[in-house]
Structure 1
Amino acid sequence: MTKTNSGRFFEDYTVGQVIRHAVPRTLAEGERALYHALYPMRHALHSSDEFAIAAGLDGSPLDDLLTFHAVFGKTVPDISLNAVANLGYADGRWLQPVWPGDTLRAESQVIGLKQNSNGQSGVVWVRTRGLNQVDEPVLEFVRWVMVRKRNPGSPAPETVIPDLPVAVAAEDLAIPEALDFTDYDFSLSGEPYCWGDYAIGERIDHVDGVTVEEAEHMLATRLWQNTAKVHFDATHREDGRRLIYGGHVISMARALSFNGLANAQMIVALNGGSHANPCFAGDTIRAWSEVLDKAETDAPGVGAIRLRLVATKGVSAQFALRGADGKYAPEVLLDLDYWALMPTNGDSVH
C-alpha cells in the first residue's frame, strides 16, 4: 500500500465536495514577531497591545494577512499541490480577529470546475473557511486554481463556473465588536491622514522597495506550512527557478503601503486579486495603491476604504496596469482589491 501523498489532480474534484484540511495550527506571539521580521509591517493596531486597547479591543490581534496565510497554507496539500498557477481570489471576508493562542483549521468546498481546452489541466474553484478552536469562522474566501490532470484522456466534467460578486458589499463587512476609533492617536500611528483625507480615484506611490531573497521567501512559505513544490524544488520548473509564493508578494506590498496608508489598520474583505506575473528571488518589489471606494460604518469613528494594491518589480510606481493588448504589463506582480478600516476623523489634513 502506498502511504505517500502525491496530491489531488483535476479529476479528483467534484462540485459540492467538502475537504477538511490537516493540520490545525496554534498561533502564538512568536508568529507575530517572525511575521514582522519577514515584512516591514508597522501598522499600530497589529503592533501594540496598548494602541489596540485604546481602540476598544482586548489587545493587539494578529495581522490579518498572517491569518490568511495560515489558513491558505492548510489548503495547499489538498487544493494546489499539483497546481500550474493560483489564478485569483474573490468574495473574501475576515469575520473576527485572531488572537495569540488561537488554533486555526481550514475546510474547503469545491464550487466550480472547468477543463481547459488543451485537455492537460483544468480550473478548480473552492470556497475556503478558516475556523478557530471553538469552530467559529474567522475567515472565508474563494480562490481558483489551474490544476494538472492525472490522465489527459480522462473525460471532462460538466462545466460549472460560480457566480461571484465583483466586491464585498460595504454593509456585509464584519467590523470587530467594540472597535472604536473615536480617540485614535494619529501621532502614534505614524501619519495624520484619516478617512476624510482620501478621495476616490486618488493614487498613492508607496515609494519604498524591498528586494526578495531566496531564503526569506522559503522561510515564510514554511511558516505557513505551504507545501507547494514550485516554491522549494528547483527541479520542478523547467527554468530551474523557485517561484516566490504569491502570499509573500501580498504581505510585502501591504507592508510597503504603510508609507501613505499607515491608518488603513485592518483588512476586512478581499474583493478580488490576481498574481499577474511570476516573482523570483532578486526581484525588487514596489507598490502603489488606488482608492476605489469609501463607506461609513456603524462603529464609532471607523470608516471603510476600498483599495487597489498593485505590486510591481524593478520599477517605481508608474500607475500602469495593462499594455495595449489588454494584458497585465510584465512588471506587474500583483493586483489586489480589498476593504480596510480607517479612522474617520482626527488630525485631518484637508
Structure 2
Amino acid sequence: MSKQPPKKPKQTSFKPAASPIPTPFTAAPPTLEPFLAQLDPSQVYLTHIDRHLPETKKQIFLIPVLLNGTIALLLLYRIYTALPTYWALLQTLLGYHSPATVDTVHTTRNDQLWILAKRTLMFLADFLAFRFVGVWPLTFFLEQPCNPVIWRWKLGGFLADEIVVRVSRNWGARDLMQGVKQGEENAFFKTRILPAIEREVLRTKTGYLMMNQSWDLDFQLMLDAHTLVKQGEVEMRGLEKMVLVFMEGTGWIAWQWESDYDVIEERRKKVVAFKEELTKAGKESLFWKWMDILESERDADGGFTAEAQNRVAERVQDAFAKEGIDFEELTRSVGGLEGLTVNKG
C-alpha cells in the first residue's frame, strides 16, 4: 500500500490587524507625556499657539475686564442700598416693628397687594441679578484654581506666543470614542472639533475669544503648559494645533490638524497671490520693498519681537500708502499675511 504524500498545509493569508486608533488620530507623541499627565481623560482638548500681536490681545482682554468690573461695582452698590430694606423685612418677619411693617389698619387691601407685588418683584429682580449676572464677575475675578485675571497675571502680561488649551464643554471623550463611528466619522468630530479649528477662527480670534457652548478655556492648564515649556520638559511647537483625547485600552491619542508642510504651502500660496495682485496693479516693486522690510527686521538684533512686528506694519503701510495702495485691504484679499510676518521660512 503506497504511502500518501503529506498534505500541504492550507495557505492562509494573514492581514495585519487594523489599528484600534480611528482616523485621523495616532498615538500621542511621547514628548507630550508631561503635559498629558495634567489632562482629564474624560475630556477632549484642543491646543494651539496664539500668535496675535500682544497689543491686540491686550485690547480684547480689556473689554471683559471693564465689563465684569462694572457689573461687580453695580452689584456691590445694590447690596449696599438694599441691606437696610432687607434688614427691615427680616425684623418684620421675626415679629418686630420696623419701617417695613405694614399698617393693616390704615391701609386698604389694594395698598397691601401693591406693597406685596413691589416686594415680590424686588426679590425676583435681585435673585436673577445675583444668580445669573453675578456669576460673570465672580468667575472672572475669583474662580479657583485659576481664572482669566490670575492667568494673565502669572503669565506675565500679553506674550507674542501664548499656548491656548480648550477643553470640551458638555461633551467629552466618551461621546467621540465610543460606538461604531469614531474619530472623523463621529458626529461630534464634525460638529464640535472641525468648526473649532477652522483657519478663519484661528486667524480672527485670540485665544480668550474661543470660549463658546462647546469649548471652554482651561486657564490653569495654559499656565502649566507654559511652565513645562520654560522647564524644557515640553516644546511649544509640540502643542501647535493638536487634538488630544484619551481612548480606553490605547491611551492618549492625538491629531495635528495642520502639518508644517501645510503651513509652508499655505504661506507660499499667499505670497504668490500677493505678488500677483501687485503685478496686476503695476506695483510689483512694492512686493520687493515688502520683502526687504521683513528681512531687515528679521535680521536686526533682538529677533522678530512684537516691537519689530509693529515697526514692519508701520513701514509697510507707509510705503504702500505712498504708492496709493491700501495694504490692509490687499492682504485681506489674499487671506491675510499674519503668519508670514512672524515665522521664517
TM-score higher than 0.5 here? no
**Which structure has the greater CA radius of gyration?**
2
Please indicate the TM-score interval, normalised by the length of the shorter structure: under 0.3
Relative CO higher for 1 or 2, CA cutoff 8 Å, sep ≥ 6?
2
Structure holding more strand per residue: 1
